[in-house]
Amino acid sequence: MALQFEHPVKDWAREWAAICHQWKRVGYVPGVSRRAEFRGLTTRGQLIEAFPDKNMIRCSILNLKKEAVQRYADEIRNQKIDFLHGYPSAFYLLAKQIKDSGIDFPEPEAILLASEEVFDWQLLQIKEIFPNAKLHASYGCAERTVMAGWCEHRQEYHVLPQYSLVEVDETTNELIGTNLFNTLNGFVRYRMSDTVIKIENEPCPDCGRPYTPRLIELGGRSEDYLFSSENGWISPAILTYPFKELKSIQEIQLVQRKINEVEVGYTLRIKADANLVKHDITQIQHGLHDLLGKEMIINFTLVDGFPRGPTGKFKWVVCELDEMPRTSNP
């Protein structure tokens, strides 16, 4: 169960201003530039949903099959979209489908990567399909205790000092953030489970912005990827979608020990209705088959709970494959 907290309404404007301040480095102009999102859910399972007030369309990342990607290409071309925005893992799958299917997909001015750690194998596939597109990655969290983004010259994260105060624990390398503008639910020296492997405390020698610390190499979040013989490695951010709006299931853990099999452990809410449990399991099964392929065996096990770490959290995506399958991503 995610922590719930409040934000003043004006916080959304501050958040958007901070994001656009970073996106400006690759040419994004709020109110003018048009983007296609490959993140979030579309309403009622639509392939494409339009948001005219935001100069944006959203393409469903739950359907990246050939026919759907061709429709995305046509709509992006018709709408004169010049920026793509979404999960690195979604763009990896998109680029892979474009390559495998030979789809004529319009190249954007820039690709805005968000919400996940970025891996070299993802960038290689993305750059192969979109060789002239600029790449920008941003890093943040729902608590709004850190905001950072790549500069124009380096693939390293420059922390935005106007947004929050960011520290790195010298012992654990854990990120610690203090929000500067939430007057309802402020976080002071909030410890995240994210870690950073390498930092620099001097301004970037290329862009010259006095934004420190610079996060040279992130340790990433603690979850694993699951492997699909059909689609390759699937990230936790994408794996969350079959679990939206569950009625009776309280918590979930996915464990993969075999290439063709995933074990789903789950706990129930108090006095869970049997029909709602059946509904949730069917929803999860269909959603995982859409993401991992119809041949994936999915086993469900009701458990009392999951082992938790010192923070009270548990790892909800676990990959225990003895050998990593040989694909273009590790």
Dihedral sign for Cα atoms in the order 102, 35, 40, 113: positive
pLDDT confidence of residue 246: 87
Candidate CATH numbers 3.40.50.980, 3.40.50.150, 3.10.110.10, 2.40.420.20; the one for domain 33-140: 3.40.50.980
Cα 271 to Cα 1, 120, 275, 278, 281, distances in angstroms: 17, 46, 12, 14, 16
Stretch 231-251: mean pLDDT: 85
Q: Which residue type is seen at 93?
A: L
Topology of domain 226-319 in CATH is GMP Synthetase; Chain A, domain 3 (3.30.300)
Stretch 284-302: mean pLDDT: 92
For residue range 85-125, list pLDDT tens digits in order. 999 989 998 999 999 999 999 999 999 998 888 888 889 99
Burial degree of 305 (CB within 10 A; 0-12, 13-18, 19+): exposed
For residue range 52-93, list pLDDT tens digits in order. 999 999 998 888 889 999 999 999 999 999 999 999 989 998
Report how far residue 323's alpha carbon sits from residue 151's, in angstroms, rounded to the nearest whole number. 37
Report how far residue 164's alpha carbon sits from residue 146's, in angstroms, rounded to the nearest whole number. 6
CA atoms within 13 A on the CB side of 223: 20
Q: Helices (H), strands (E): how many in the chain? A: 6, 18
What one-character-per-residue DSSP string does 123-163 give?
HHHHHHHSTTSEEEEEEE-TT---EEEE-SS-SSEEE-TTT
Report how far residue 96's alpha carbon sits from residue 125's, in angstroms, rounded to the nearest whole number. 7
Both tokens assigned to 78: 């018709």
Burial degree of 161 (CB within 10 A; 0-12, 13-18, 19+): middle
Report how far residue 33's alpha carbon sits from residue 142's, in angstroms, rounded to the nearest whole number. 25
Enter the pTM of the model: 0.80
For residue range 9-61, list pLDDT tens digits in order. 888 899 999 999 999 999 999 999 999 999 887 887 789 999 999 999 999 88
Both tokens assigned to 77: 């071309």
Report how far residue 151's alpha carbon sits from residue 147's, in angstroms, rounded to the nearest whole number. 13
| Residue ranges of domains in the chain | 33-140, 226-319
Mean pLDDT over each residue of the chain, to the nearest integer: 89
Residue ranges in the chain assigned as alpha helix (H): 11-23, 66-78, 88-101, 120-129, 236-239, 274-292
Burial degree of 13 (CB within 10 A; 0-12, 13-18, 19+): exposed
Closest CA to 22 of 146, 108, 192, 178: 146
